[in-house]
Structure 1
């Protein structure tokens, strides 16, 4: 489970927090930590648990989630009923990576989390990046935005993409066999396609408990 993104939910409504935790746990590659219901508890949990991502409400019993946001040195998204423009601008100005209005569906949060995973992949493999990489990372955070980077696909990359049947999930080894390339080559092109949003990555846990990456074409990109 070490590869999962660990997510802390901060919401003073226990039932809502529990529901959102279930939403998080339903997304492959994400693990919900025990939710907390106040700014004080959130600060303590961030310090002790070191989550990768905090999902934060604005309305908390001992302060504003917007004030807490400015104190957190961790990726954060707002999940809140606060729909006024001032709160939204404040959240974005203080570093919120996304702003999701309650009530929302499990799929809405799932899309946002998958976008976050794509963002982390783009910026997670190298220390120095170019401007194109920065722009792709920014686009990745917009749920549902899978616009291609604009660079032409090589013949091998196109073959890898075409080997993925809509609605199916494949391992890198399976893709390599379908295309006729090495596993390392298939893995490299699959990662690039995932960064562009053309391919989605799921984690499947086998009997040994070790995760296996599975690759597939997003439903919104599948042909009719």
Structure 2
């Protein structure tokens, strides 16, 4: 279970963010803090895996907190109304893994949390090669993209994404279309989008007639 610490000076906003994070499978909000001091104390005592951190805190800025947590076992995701370029650069320089600007919809946070979860799964331990590092970095920012390109259904995009991710073996657009009850051409369009996003791989499969068919696999 991923342990999350939510830090925001506004009690109501902190509660909402905690509710959003708790709704994601595999995430548990272990504490909510409203000051920098309380946040640092909670990190020391509870050892969260991820801190959702506001910049506007009453005692110190979230950027200072983020910088102080550099090298800690937890990651920091900034969630703030501060959209200044200086703050974004400072947060990333201090080690923040993402920067989400208020106000936002629950789906925007959920996508980023799930992407971070996939990223952490790829860099948990061991020695990584460049391809593994590239895959992890793509996974980290996968949630930053819109859920579906213009003209595509977010529901269908989610179904195709989940089905491909769950597949144990490479699948064709026809296979996936049959499984989901959508046209082969529709499945192929959404699968091609996942390939463009760098989260899926496409290769050729030759059938008995010798005619090649595209098959797709989730990039793990």
**TM-score, normalised on structure 1?**
0.65
Q: Please give the alpha-carbon distance, in whole angstroms, between the structure 2 residues aligned to 1:127 and 1:65.
A: 31
Give the equivalent residue in structure 2 for 1:112. Answer: 112
- Contact kept, 8 Å, 1:118 with 1:197, in 2: the verdict is no
- Contact kept, 8 Å, 2:35 with 2:58, in 1: the verdict is yes
Number of equivalences: 159
Q: CA deviation at 1:163?
A: 6.5
Q: Please give the alpha-carbon distance, in whole angstroms, between the structure 2 residues aligned to 1:132 and 1:160.
A: 24
TM-superposition CA deviations, 1:5-34 (whole Å, max 9, x none)? 110001010000000000001111111122
For residue 31 of structure 2, give the secondary structure of its aligned residue in structure 1. coil
How do 1:4-43 and structure 2 match up within 5 A?
Answer: 4-43=1-40
Q: Please give the alpha-carbon distance, in whole angstroms, between the structure 2 residues aligned to 1:107 and 1:160.
A: 29
Could you tell me which runs of 5 or more consecutive residues in structure 1 were left unpaired when the two chains were aligned: 147-155, 168-195, 199-216, 219-224
- Contact kept, 8 Å, 2:123 with 2:136, in 1: the verdict is yes
Give the equivalent residue in structure 2 for 1:157. Answer: 169
Give the equivalent residue in structure 2 for 1:130. Answer: 129
Give the equivalent residue in structure 1 for 2:77. Answer: 77
Q: Please give the alpha-carbon distance, in whole angstroms, between the structure 2 residues aligned to 1:160 and 1:6.
A: 37
Q: Please give the alpha-carbon distance, in whole angstroms, between the structure 2 residues aligned to 1:5 and 1:160.
A: 34
Q: Please give the alpha-carbon distance, in whole angstroms, between the structure 1 residues aligned to 2:144 and 2:49.
A: 21
Q: CA deviation at 1:111?
A: 0.1
User: What do you get for the CA RMSD once the two structures are aligned?
Assistant: 2.5
Q: Please give the alpha-carbon distance, in whole angstroms, between the structure 2 residues aligned to 1:197 and 1:52.
A: 24
For residue 28 of structure 2, give the secondary structure of its aligned residue in structure 1. strand
1:54 to 39, 43, 51: 51
- Contact kept, 8 Å, 1:82 with 1:101, in 2: the verdict is yes
Q: Please give the alpha-carbon distance, in whole angstroms, between the structure 1 residues aligned to 2:140 and 2:66.
A: 18
For residue 100 of structure 2, give the secondary structure of its aligned residue in structure 1. strand
Q: Which of the pair has the greater relative contact order for Cα pairs under 8 Å at 6+ separation? A: 1
**TM-score, normalised on structure 2?**
0.66
For residue 7 of structure 1, give the secondary structure of its aligned residue in structure 2. strand
- Contact kept, 8 Å, 1:76 with 1:96, in 2: the verdict is yes
- Seen in structure 2, the aligned counterparts of structure 1 residues 55 and 160 have a Cα distance that, compared at 3 Å, is farther
Could you tell me which runs of 5 or more consecutive residues in structure 2 were left unpaired when the two chains were aligned: 148-167, 182-197, 201-216
